[in-house]
Chain A
Amino acid sequence: MPVMDYIEAIRLAMKEEMERDPDVFVLGEDVGVKGGVFTTTKGLQEQFGEARVMDTPLSESAIAGVAIGAAMYGMKPIAEMQYSDFMFPATNQIISEAAKIRYRSNNDWSCPVVIRAPIGGGIFGGLYHSQCPESVFFGTPGLKIVAPYSPADAKGLLTAAIRDPDPVLFFENKKCYRLVTGPVPEGEHVVEIGKSNVLREGDDITVISYSLPLHFALQAAEELQEEGISAHILDLRTLQPLDKEGILAAARRTGKVLIIHEDNKTGGIGAEVSAIIAEEMLYELDAPIRRLCGPDVPAMPINPPGEKFFMLNKDKVLAAMRELALY
């Protein structure tokens, strides 16, 4: 199985889907000649031409809105938001339009658009190049939201997103782009949207997370194993719709649940995961549900101590896991 960077896997998914389906095209700021500010689309314009890998005006609502129009016509657009922080001008197009097109037309029209956006901090990006906006879109029925943690999942989920008949927000973690390398199955590889994935089997505590923090949890679990603490780790993979059965099964496995995400705590995905568990199996729990998340401040500062304070890391995750195990 070839080994590649997370960013390469995203690029490969776009390349292969564009080769397979002439209706797939990419649009966004700097995606063409430059190949994206992170090089996510590097080489695609050379292969597919300017029309299918289109540099757009600096205009996020138009990027989303034009993609939505093209999707309603029957195309399969992939709209890139340069940073998820700059996605907010497009929020009306995403929430009022893309999410509601099938519903409001009573299934007459549909909107098979993919909106890719890099999330997360740890790159000294300051307030507006570091945010995790999942919770802004989470809770808007009609949208699907995915957030891969590995190269294989990045490829498989993006392929699934492009083929999906409904709008999908693809939140790729920019810290993972080159930090995370891994094997990716050769040929067609599709990861089903709506299904969570057990990354590690364990019996003492259950960690539920998505995106970058899963790497911290996996490292911490190895260390805790030496202390005799066995961690069960669930990757949500899809944030909307949440895999309720997968969440409950993982929680039942140990009866002690820690939910981790970089997005801030209040109103985050963790709140909903926690509520699902509490509604269905409160009396099966052996400890209160815990959450380890970004602090409730507007966004991450650029100064190194501030960024470090905001960001999760292996040590913070390990401490929270140990504390829960000892409860």
Chain B
Amino acid sequence: MSRQQVDSRHRELGLSDEEAVGMYKMMRSARMFDERVLLLQRAGKINFHVSGIGQEAAQVAAAWALDRDEDYFLPYYRDYGFVLSVGMTLRELMLSVFAKAEDPTSGGRQMPGHFGHKKLRIVTGSSPVTTQVPHAVGIALAAKMKGQKLVSFVTFGEGSSNQGDFHEGCNFAGVHKLPVILMCENNQYAISVPVHKQLGGRVADRALGYGFEGLRVDGNDALAIYAAVKEARERALAGGGPTLIEAMMYRLSPHSTSDNDLAYRTKEEVEENRGRDGVAAFRRYLEEAGIWSAEQEDELAAAIRKEMDEATRYADEAPFPTPESTLWHVYEGDAPQGGR
């Protein structure tokens, strides 16, 4: 592509240079967070981490295409790039990783990656996969009943797309033409099971059976994802119903810190996919567009590292929840005054 063609792609989509650069900064933040937490786990500072490396470009791009002040978000457990983009901070994520009392997602109750943040309209999630799809549909239904102009956005993996709740939720949303955007982050593996043993067809094609739009998009191409989600949102608000987006990507990390991925895939395969990494590709795009440089990259890395160090220190030193607080919040009003 010539310089001019490259240059105009994000602007054609309505993104300013600052916004495009902002997207990249978020992708880098998510990547560096993930790498830091893997180190913390290996160092024995924390017990567990489930990684999203290789999926950040699509996550961040999707968030940028949504209304981050109005829409409702139901991310799945690898969506660090997404939740950072809709307002969570590195400090908040670190508090969750360290399972500290101040963790806004669960007060140190849930595994990391089980997001929730009411102020940011990030809806609390669980570990049994895909239960969040009917919730997203219910939120879209409620918003429609109340006449609110917003969408719910829900993500899940390709393995999860085989759960009944995916089908039940999609069908319900299709019947009522609800403003839901469903994004499957197809990262080629459900823990160890490769996609060809997981799916007989394409996730995107299933939308046909539910009566709405389904499309497959290159998840390593941030701007393609941005365009797809933006169009889906416009369609949803115009009463056109849900959209299913199958974002194709590759999980570069093992499933979690408890997983040895080389037991079921080769180093060569991982390395080959590392070459297609969407974050690196977006950086190259910005550089070719003349709005990003090696110096800016270094400055950004230093700034994120500084923020990360501060967040890590803060979370490490923050107090755990009191043992007795284990009994709180089973029902409304069962905790002492001010108990959180």
State whether B145 touches A62 (Cβ < 8 A). Answer: no
Interface stretch, picked from A88-96, A179-187, A311-319, is A88-96
Within 8 A of A (CB), among B143-184: 143, 145, 152, 164-165, 168-169, 171-172, 175
Query: What's the least CB distance linking A102 to chain B, in Å?
Result: 5
> Which residue of chain A has the shortest Cβ distance to B131 in the bound complex?
A97
State whether A102 touches B332 (Cβ < 8 A). Answer: yes
Partner of A69, one of B104, B137, B332, B339: B137
State whether A61 touches B138 (Cβ < 8 A). Answer: no
- B164 cross-chain contacts in A, Cβ below 8 A: 61, 89
State whether A109 touches B124 (Cβ < 8 A). Answer: yes
Q: CA separation between A59 and B340, bound complex, in Å?
A: 36
Q: CA separation between A195 and B128, bound complex, in Å?
A: 34
- Interface range for B: 35 or more
Partner of A57, one of B104, B117, B152, B175: B175
Query: What's the least CB distance linking B324 to chain A, in Å?
Result: 14
Query: What's the least CB distance linking A140 to chain B, in Å?
Result: 10
Using known A-B contacts A103-B109, A107-B328, determine if residue A70 contacts B169 with beta carbons closer than 8 Å. no
> Which residue of chain A has the shortest Cβ distance to B333 in the bound complex?
A165
- B117 cross-chain contacts in A, Cβ below 8 A: 108
Query: What's the least CB distance linking B239 to chain A, in Å?
Result: 14
Interface string of B119-155 (1 = CB under 8 A from A): 0000110101001011111111111010000001000
Using known A-B contacts A105-B106, A108-B116, A108-B118, determine if residue A65 contacts B329 with beta carbons closer than 8 Å. no
The reply to whether the CB of B47 lies closer than 8 angstroms to some CB of chain A is: no
The reply to whether the CB of A67 lies closer than 8 angstroms to some CB of chain B is: yes
State whether A65 touches B123 (Cβ < 8 A). Answer: no
State whether A75 touches B142 (Cβ < 8 A). Answer: yes
The reply to whether the CB of B331 lies closer than 8 angstroms to some CB of chain A is: yes
- A56 cross-chain contacts in B, Cβ below 8 A: 172
Using known A-B contacts A59-B172, A66-B172, determine if residue A101 contacts B124 with beta carbons closer than 8 Å. yes
State whether A62 touches B124 (Cβ < 8 A). Answer: no
Interface string of B301-332 (1 = CB under 8 A from A): 00000000000000000000000000011111
> Which residue of chain B has the shortest Cβ distance to A164 in the bound complex?
B332
The reply to whether the CB of B107 lies closer than 8 angstroms to some CB of chain A is: yes
State whether A93 touches B332 (Cβ < 8 A). Answer: no
The reply to whether the CB of A104 lies closer than 8 angstroms to some CB of chain B is: yes
Q: How many A-B residue pairs have CB under 8 A?
A: 139
Query: What's the least CB distance linking B83 to chain A, in Å?
Result: 14
Q: CA separation between A56 and B138, bound complex, in Å?
A: 12
State whether A72 touches B329 (Cβ < 8 A). Answer: no
The reply to whether the CB of B105 lies closer than 8 angstroms to some CB of chain A is: yes
Q: CA separation between A70 and B142, bound complex, in Å?
A: 5
State whether B109 touches A69 (Cβ < 8 A). Answer: no
State whether B107 touches A70 (Cβ < 8 A). Answer: no
State whether A59 touches B171 (Cβ < 8 A). Answer: yes
Within 8 A of B (CB), among A49-106: 51-52, 56-57, 59, 61-62, 64-75, 77, 89, 92-93, 96-97, 100-106
> Which residue of chain B has the shortest Cβ distance to A61 in the bound complex?
B168
The reply to whether the CB of A142 lies closer than 8 angstroms to some CB of chain B is: yes
Q: CA separation between A324 and B240, bound complex, in Å?
A: 67
The reply to whether the CB of A144 lies closer than 8 angstroms to some CB of chain B is: yes
State whether A73 touches B124 (Cβ < 8 A). Answer: no
The reply to whether the CB of A172 lies closer than 8 angstroms to some CB of chain B is: no
Using known A-B contacts A72-B138, A73-B72, determine if residue A108 contacts B165 with beta carbons closer than 8 Å. no
> Which residue of chain A has the shortest Cβ distance to B123 in the bound complex?
A72
State whether A92 touches B128 (Cβ < 8 A). Answer: yes
State whether B106 touches A57 (Cβ < 8 A). Answer: no
State whether A62 touches B110 (Cβ < 8 A). Answer: no
State whether B135 touches A72 (Cβ < 8 A). Answer: yes
- B103 cross-chain contacts in A, Cβ below 8 A: 106
- B105 cross-chain contacts in A, Cβ below 8 A: 105
> Which residue of chain B has the shortest Cβ distance to A72 in the bound complex?
B123
Query: What's the least CB distance linking A229 to chain B, in Å?
Result: 39
- A103 cross-chain contacts in B, Cβ below 8 A: 109, 329-330
Among A64, A73, A106, A166, find the residue whose CB has the most chain B CB atoms closer than 10 A: A106
Return the 4 tightest CB-CB contacts between A and B, nearest first: A69-B138, A65-B134, A106-B107, A69-B135
Cβ contacts A to B, 24 pairs, < 8 Å: A57-B175, A62-B165, A62-B172, A65-B133, A65-B135, A66-B134, A66-B135, A66-B169, A68-B134, A69-B138, A69-B152, A70-B141, A71-B138, A72-B135, A72-B139, A73-B142, A73-B143, A75-B145, A97-B126, A104-B109, A104-B110, A105-B105, A107-B328, A166-B331
Which B residues form the contact surface with A (CB < 8 A)? 72, 103-107, 109-110, 114, 116-118, 123-124, 126, 128, 131, 133-143, 145, 152, 164-165, 168-169, 171-172, 175, 328-332, 335, 339-340
7 A-B pairs besides A102-B330, A107-B329 with CB distance below 8 A are: A57-B168, A69-B136, A73-B72, A104-B114, A106-B340, A109-B116, A142-B330
Which A residues form the contact surface with B (CB < 8 A)? 25, 51-52, 56-57, 59, 61-62, 64-75, 77, 89, 92-93, 96-97, 100-110, 141-142, 144, 165-166
